[in-house]
Structure 1
Amino acid sequence: FNAYRARYKDKANVAFVIPQEGSISVPYVMSLVANAPHRANAEKVLDFVLSDEGQALWAKAYLRPVRAMKMPADVAAQFLPDSDYARAGVVDYEKMAAVQEAFAARYLNEVK
């Protein structure tokens, strides 16, 4: 989103590209705090962020919606075509954690 903002808001001479070889897509993460005193309000915030209206606000801030939705045409025109985003894969965080755990154990074993 930084490149989009630089181009459209700051009028910088930049272009946003996804390499032919691909890239990764890193989501913004939201969560609820366990035993939060105002859980119902927190759920309302999450519901709004994931609503069409909330996703449109993110898109206007140059962040692609996480849900399939129809963006306003002027906003959609500022993003790359969906076909370009097909080259951006998602990270398997569970697999990454397992590999990282094995790496950390090996590192500690060999460094000691």
Structure 2
Amino acid sequence: MELDVISPGLLILAISLSWNRFACIFSSASSVALAAAPLTTAATAISLSALGLAFAGNTPWFGFLIVLAGVLASSIVKRQPAAITVALSAISLAAYLSFSPVQM
């Protein structure tokens, strides 16, 4: 039962911590250097991976709730340094991958 709570929580954490840097590539106010930065590339990969895993391992409605909770929680970490949040999101995505069973 604990695993059923931890896994979605880790995905929510990964989405929320990488979302602000990922969303900056769609903003016209962002500079080209910020959008092309390696940290932005890493945040984009983490965010898209977490989005895909939210829908791949769950029902569509539960996947939508995970993504929605992650996007809403991203407003909490908006003022934090991007390097720290992207590193923590990578750690939470790696923890999710270690907790989730491999299904083939």
Query: Which has the larger strand fraction?
Result: 1
Q: TM-score, normalised by structure 1?
A: 0.25
Flag the structure with more relative contact order, 1 or 2, with Cα contacts below 8 A and sequence separation at least 6.
2
Larger radius of gyration: 1
Query: Which has the larger helix fraction?
Result: 2
